[in-house]
Amino acid sequence: MKISYKKLWIMLIERDISKMAFRQATELSPGTMSKLNKGEEVALSILLRICDYLKCDIGDICEAVRVNKE
């Protein structure tokens, strides 16, 4: 399984929030922002901080996706 933050990026676009403004408002480090951009795992506390800022549920910003191994 892998995590996808596609829902987060769509939400930011729909709300007209730039990634830079988002990073500053949530006080995310550049390293954490890089992990989000690459679809890497971040701490649950970070996801909860993002949810608090966007006033949404965790399932609204990320989802687990199955990786097909052939």
The CATH number assigned to the domain holding 14 equals 1.10.260.40
Domain presence at residue 20 = yes
Q: What are the strands, taking DSSP E only, across the chain?
A: 2-4, 63-65
Domain presence at residue 50 = yes
Q: Tell me: pLDDT of 69 over 90.
A: no
Domain presence at residue 49 = yes
- As for how many domains the chain has, the answer is 1
Which pLDDT band, with edges at 50, 70 and 90, does 61 fall under? very high
Q: What is the pLDDT of residues 16-27, one digit of tens each?
A: 999 999 999 999
Domain presence at residue 24 = yes
Alpha-carbon distance of 49 to 67, in angstroms, equals 27
Domain presence at residue 70 = no
Contacts of 28 (CB under 8 A, 6+ apart): 22, 36, 46, 49
**Does the predicted model carry a pTM greater than 0.85?**
yes
Q: What is the pLDDT of residues 2-19, one digit of tens each?
A: 999 999 999 999 999 999
